[in-house]
Structure 1
Amino acid sequence: MSGRPSALELPQAPDGFRKVMKALRARPPLRSARLPAEPPWRSRFVAPLADVPRVSLREFGYRGGELLRAEEHVDDTAVAGPWRLLTDEGLERLTAVCEQLEAAAQDAGFTATRRLRAADLLSPFIANMIRDREFLLTCSRLVGIPLIPHPLRLPTAQINYGEGGGRQGGVRWHRDGMDYVFTIQLSGYDDYDGGRFTYFLGRTDEFPGPVPEDSRFREADLGERGATLFLHGSRIFHAVTPVTKGHRVTLVISLFCPYFARQDSNTFWHLAADDGIAATVPCWLRLKWPVRNPAVDFGLRSASPVITWDDLR
């Protein structure tokens, strides 16, 4: 551990007025680019779901009355993994796709890393992967609630590219606008130094900031290529230490539970700080449309299979 950059040294992401100012300066993500042809996605690329270590939101200090509920189901998964979401073949294909997409990545001062937002709008492989029924069922069964691609298209699939040298490749302390976030490692510790995924094992209102030592900071074991981590992003502060050597690539997928649509944690200014006001307005209206049958309505709008509670029984 000695000599490795510490997550406690990272600053916290902008909030409040600073977030509004960031929204005014933000550039919208690319929606098209000339990229090489991709391999096709196949359902067989999803690995069978095995026993996965889990930590509950209650263990983070959230009370039972603060957890979302639908019928007899409770949204109580805070962290799950790491585990292998994709087979070796699927991981190889996805890694090749994300390498090709790096040419379209943009610098992002908000998180101090290069990234590609709305990757599924540029990549048929990623678009088909996150709308594949086997993929969604596996993610849903892991978390214990029905999940589909988020109707906010721009932040649904993001690729982060971290390069050694300076502070590039680190991610500031922040919590996500998204609730259900899956991070897939496309490179391992043999490929880079630094780049350690760290989170705070406590409520967001207890987060002590990036300076004080606290026994509740945890480092996720994401050293293996293909390792996948689920994080209830909106309720957990997390960060990534700077990459000091080599190249780190991760794909971050944000999913959505239509049954909890009214309680979705996203805020307009959180999204606008990433993508700019003009790009956020149509996405925001799409999310806030009236919902009659949540599973069907949101499923059809995202061109996704409909996942219901019965599918998880």
Structure 2
Amino acid sequence: MPMSSARSGGTSALDLPRTPTGFQQFSHALRARTPRRGATLPAEPRWRSEFVDRAAAGPRVTLREFGYGSGELSTWRGRPDDTAVVGPLQLLTQEGLACLTEVCDALEGTAGHSRFIATRRLRSADLLSPFINNMIRDRAFLVTCSRLVGVPLIPHPLRIPTAQINYGSGQGRPEIVRWHRDGMDYVFTIQLNGYEDYEGGRFTYFQGRTDEFPEAEPGDARIREAACGERGATLFLHGSRIFHAVTPVTKGRRVVLVISLFCPYFARQDSNTFWHLAGDDGIAATVPHWLRLKWPVRNPAVDFSLRAGSPVVTWDDLG
């Protein structure tokens, strides 16, 4: 199992703040600024499909093990969407990881600050970086991710949250990721450095239903830590069904790329809510993308892939 009890120095992970809701969430939406664009960046390495470890595999935990019933799972012609957690595992080769690290380091100067979920992050990194854009729209990358999760996946059509880089530093005010559940259903995190580079910064989650999380107390055995200590450690999380957080980085530097994918076949069950997105990006930036996501489609696999600028991935690709 990819987890351990999550306590450090006698402090419970539950002491971390939680994502604002209600009026506070609405207030964040009013204050949020559209992500910055137009930065001048140095030349990047070129993405290559060979950077994907197509044999990537790791331990898997099901949504049923989180307490969800069979009737709560999305299904497509008898195929259930039952994957809660996969990993940690190595999704990229060492060369690919080195190139991705170089790219994310170069983008750090364009990162902004937020008090909604992640303290310091760069949203829509794929709109600034050809490397990241080509990586998350590469067929080998998407098919490998799809096979790990067990459903066909493409980049999320909501472009702003598709690729986010979280930067954590032990200098100054501690930077965290609050307790939250994602608007996105299929989320991959790629760790770009290891525990030897920083202290704190532990990925923590609640192994239970989201409606049970408010009742959790310090010492609850369902508070888990994903063992993402190795550089390149990749973790899949069914983000909308799992409460998770990252403890403060107290020393050193932690960088993580967060990729949100989308299953066209379950589009009507997509968990995104308008105000969750607007709380991070602002109302003006969210409206056009949100409306575009809701346009009707005839062929989910093809139409949503076109919207996301992605190759088509179907059930046949899962093998």
Do they fold alike, i.e. is TM over 0.5?
Answer: yes
* 1:5 CA drift (Å): 5.5
Is 2:118–2:166's contact at 8 Å kept on the other side of the alignment?
Answer: no
RMSD: 1.3
Q: Unaligned 5+ residue runs, structure 2? A: 1-6
Alignment of 1:43-82 (within 5 A): 43-82=49-88
Alignment of 1:1-313 (within 5 A): 2-3=8-9, 6-165=12-171, 168-208=174-214, 212-313=218-319
Structure-1-length-normalised TM-score: 0.97
Whole-Å separation in 1 of the counterparts to 2:36 and 2:10:
34
For residues 163-219 of structure 1, what are the alpha-carbon distances to aligned partners after superposition, in whole Å with 9 as ceiling and x for unaligned? 004653211100000000000000110000000000000000000367533110100
Structure-2-length-normalised TM-score: 0.95
Whole-Å separation in 1 of the counterparts to 2:245 and 2:8:
19
* 1:230 CA drift (Å): 0.2
Count of equivalent residues? 313
Task: Name the % identity.
Answer: 74
Q: Unaligned 5+ residue runs, structure 1? A: none
Is 2:57–2:87's contact at 8 Å kept on the other side of the alignment?
Answer: no
* 1:11 CA drift (Å): 1.0
Query: SS of 1:262's equivalent?
Result: helix
Whole-Å separation in 2 of the counterparts to 1:36 and 1:74:
44
* 1:310 CA drift (Å): 0.9
Amino acid aligned to 1:130: I
For residues 289-311 of structure 1, what are the alpha-carbon distances to aligned partners after superposition, in whole Å with 9 as ceiling and x for unaligned? 10110000011111111000111
Amino acid aligned to 1:21: S
Query: SS of 1:41's equivalent?
Result: coil
